[in-house]
Every structure is written in C-alpha cells, then in structure tokens.
C-alpha cells in the first residue's frame, strides 16, 4: 500500500493506492492484461497480402475488445461479448479479408488485401482492453511501408 499526497482546492489530500492482485483460473497470482507480441512487416510488397498478428495474455481478466488502427483511425474491432462480434470501419488503404482473419481469446490475426502505396503505408496499432472492473488497456504500434511495384 502506497500513500500519495496532492493539493486540491487548497487542501492537502491523502490518497491510498493499493496494488491490485488478480488470481488466474488455476489459482496463481496474475498481473493482469499484457500485450505479449505484435507483428507487422516493416516493408510490404503491394502485390502480396499483408498479415498483422497480435498476441496477448489476459492475466485472469475478461477480454472486452481488440481494436486495430491505422494512423489512429480504427478499422477493425473484435468484441466477443457483443451481439455483433466483428465490426469494420472504412479507412483508406485498408481492406481486411474477413474470411481469412481470425480473433481468439489470446490473439487476433488479420489479413489485409488490395494494398496500395502510399495509402496502405502507416502506423498500425493493436489495442487490447479488458472488461470491468479493471478496464485495462494495452497496445503496440508498428510502422509499415508499402513499397514496390503495384
């Protein structure tokens, strides 16, 4: 337990910070949500399909959503508890092949088709969030340059 002090409206306020401890399903202590690996090509041929992979460990928490962004524009969302689990949003240069893409409780793999340069080049981010009460968020970004004939 840590104490944290700050001033608010001229008064010194004391706040107690308690570390959250989560138990995994097997009874071990878990640290919570961790994004363990994201892969995206640094250089991509526009004539070929591009694979994006995101792996995570929920650490005993429930998955709320996996969101994918290109240049801070969301283009894909997987929400396992929703009535519509997959939602796609239009982003120039991004075309997800829904039939070849797959999201699971520990990862999400996307296949992008119809790449074009420079529209498909940019910063691709995988963002994973957990359900209440923790509402944790983890993300990772990789820059992709689409170059070559195409």
The tens digit of pLDDT for each residue in 49-64 reads: 999 999 999 998 999 9
* Residue 25 neighbours by CB distance under 10 Å: 7
> Domain for residue 23, yes or no?
no
The answer to whether the beta carbons of residues 146 and 113 sit under 8 Å apart is no
| Count of structural domains, the chain | 1
Is 60 exceeded by the pLDDT of residue 24? no
- Compute the distance between CA of residue 19 and CA of residue 43 in angstroms, rounded to an integer: 41
CATH number, domain of 140, equals: 2.60.40.10
**Full-prediction pTM beyond 0.85?**
no
> Domain for residue 80, yes or no?
yes
Average pLDDT over all residues of the chain? 86
Domain with 92, as residue range(s), is 33-146
> Domain for residue 28, yes or no?
no
Q: What angle do CA 131, 135, 136 make, to 5 degrees?
A: 115
């Amino acid at each position: 337990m840590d104490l944290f002090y700050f001033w608010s409206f001229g008064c010194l306020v004391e706040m107690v910070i308690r570390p959250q401890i989560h138990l995994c399903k097997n009874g071990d202590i878990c640290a919570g949500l961790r994004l363990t690996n994201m892969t995206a090509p640094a250089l991509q041929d526009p004539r070929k399909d591009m694979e994006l992979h995101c792996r995570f460990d929920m650490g005993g928490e429930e998955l709320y959503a996996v969101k994918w962004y290109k240049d801070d524009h969301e283009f894909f969302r997987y929400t396992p508890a929703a009535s519509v689990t997959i939602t796609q949003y239009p982003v120039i240069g991004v075309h997800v092949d829904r039939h070849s893409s797959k999201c699971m409780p520990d990862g999400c793999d996307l296949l992008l088709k119809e790449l074009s340069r420079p529209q498909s080049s940019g910063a691709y981010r995988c963002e994973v969030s957990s359900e209440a009460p923790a509402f944790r968020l983890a993300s990772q970004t990789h820059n992709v340059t689409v170059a070559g004939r195409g």
